[in-house]
Amino acid sequence: MKSIIQNQYVTLVFTVLFSLALLLVHKPLDAFLFYFLLILIACTILYNENKRVHSTKEIKDTNDNVWNNALQNRSVVAYIFAIGLIAFYVVIYWWPARIGYHDSGNTGMVSWMDPVSFLLRGKAADQWFLYGFLYTWFVAVFGFRFVIRYRHNSYQVWRTFSLIFFQVIFAFLLPVFFERMNKPYHDFKNIWPLNYSFFDASHLNLMSAQGTYGKSVLISGILLIILGIPILTYFFGKRWYCSWVCGCGALAETAGDPFRHLSDKSHFSWKLERAIIYSVLLIIIVMTILMLWTYYFQVDSTIAQGVLTFRRVYGFVIGAVVSGVIGVGFYPIFGSRVWCRFACPMAAVLGILQKYFSRFRISVNGGQCISCGNCSTYCEMGIDVRAYAEKSQDIVRASCVGCGMCAEVCPRGVLKLENSSPGSTKTQAFVPREDVTVLFSSGDQT
């Protein structure tokens, strides 16, 4: 406990010094207040988490207590918070001038990012730099909170550090670095079909004109689609991306962790999930084929314009409204994986591969299950894990992101993340053994 608190104070000191150094460059007063507020929030979150984990009550005893917090039980407070999140997304997506973004010079909230933007990319901030900075900050701060909370589980610790690493380096710093070198923005961990603009004519032309950099982006992206996705999913399931790399998953697993129990476990929700997510996948496949067709073949301009309009509608509805406004704004109402569960085309592709062609599954020792329901409560993907445990049936679901929280909160070590032969699903009960608690301990899954 002492070392953790000391690390927090060291982090605070260096953050303050870094902020003060930035403030000497640009806009000292309003930026100082902004950075000071972020530091204060971060330290409060980490201090409270330190205090909580050293209390007498552990997480495995809090199945019902997660509903006692007003922010976590769909109360009026939760709805007010959701409205605030939705309003922020709406403003930053469509009315950035409201938060100070202007071509003639920034004011307000966007201007507070100018010191960091000038330092990293040599120019003033825009609303997307502000959004990227705040997104990364929330992933990092709540990621460290998550690590403190689940520090005893190496699987949770390493996957959280992985999410922080990919968000900070691949999603934020690398794109900014190349932007400073006058290269176009590219999120290196964003893969088609999640990156729906990858095969746009404008993107293909832009990257083709960028020499080695552009060709590397296109080649690496295509190789990931053809080889990376199927190979990695075969060995690790969809968790390699959804729970270890993806930026949407990073925010859901860190800042969204307090809301994971709000996911709907009903049969209707499961049917709705399948209908929507595979429809979105079908739409983007058709859209991509049409975009490539108009790019490589000289089609009529009217048809090409229609395809472009189709692409813009998809970008607005799915890329902005569903993934951002609904996907994050409704954390306090529907849980942290609304986007991942209902509309992410990448999750749909990985889910199909995971269910039918992957070695990954969650094995069940049903003989030890006491039907406490912790596993189902904490499943952010709305899977009724307890039903599988009671039948002693291995969990092989397309929607499972392999976060491992069901195994983490199980008080009897019933569940375990592991690899097996594709297509094998155990249905018979385990024979109880004296050393079963050791063999199926959820403290250190691999």
User: Cα-atom radius of gyration of the chain, to the nearest Å?
Assistant: 23
Q: How much is the pLDDT for 287?
A: 93
Least confident interval from 133-142, 226-235, 238-247, 419-428: 419-428
The answer to whether 334 and 263 are in contact (CB under 8 A) is: yes
Percentage above 70 pLDDT, the chain: 84
CB burial string 193-215: b at 16+ within 10 A, e below: bbbbebbbbebbeebeebeeebe
User: So what's the pLDDT on residue 439?
Assistant: 30
Q: What is the pLDDT of residue 226?
A: 95
| pLDDT score, position 16 | 58
Q: What is the pLDDT of residue 45?
A: 81
86-90: long-range pairs with CB below 8 Å, 24+ = 86/325, 86/329, 86/330, 89/324, 89/325, 89/328, 89/329, 90/325
Answer whether 360's CB lies under 8 Å from 242's CB. Answer: no
Q: Specify the pLDDT at position 116.
A: 86
What residue type is 165 in one-letter code? F
Q: Which CATH class is domain 359-439?
A: alpha beta
Helix 127-149 and helix 28-53, axial crossing angle in degrees, nearest 10? 20
Do the beta carbons of residue 344 and residue 320 sit within 8 Å?
no
Which residue, chain included where needed, has tokens 């290269």? 183
In this predicted structure, the answer to whether residue 122 has a pLDDT above a threshold of 90 is: no
The pLDDT score that the predictor gives to residue 107 is 84
Secondary structure percentages of the chain, helix, strand, coil, to 5: 65, 0, 30
Find the mean pLDDT for residues 354-375: 90
pLDDT in tens, 398-438: 999 999 999 999 988 899 998 766 555 443 333 333 333 33
Averaged pLDDT for residues 169-184: 90
End-to-end CA distance of the chain: 26
Number of Cβ within 10 Å of residue 58's Cβ equals: 11
Q: Where are the domains of the chain?
A: 1-56+95-174, 359-439
Better-predicted residue by pLDDT, 15 or 356: 356
Nearest to 414 by CA among 367, 361, 360: 367
pLDDT at 342: 95
The answer, yes or no, to whether residue 363 has pLDDT greater than 80, is yes
What tokens does 300 get?
Answer: 């009529």
Of all helices (H) and strands (E), which one includes residue 224? none
User: Rounded mean pLDDT of 182-203?
Assistant: 89
Mean pLDDT is lowest, of 232-241, 398-407, 437-446, for: 437-446
Query: What mean pLDDT is predicted for residues 190-212?
Result: 90
d(CA 364, CA 400) in angstroms, rounded, equals 15
Average pLDDT over residues 76-89: 92
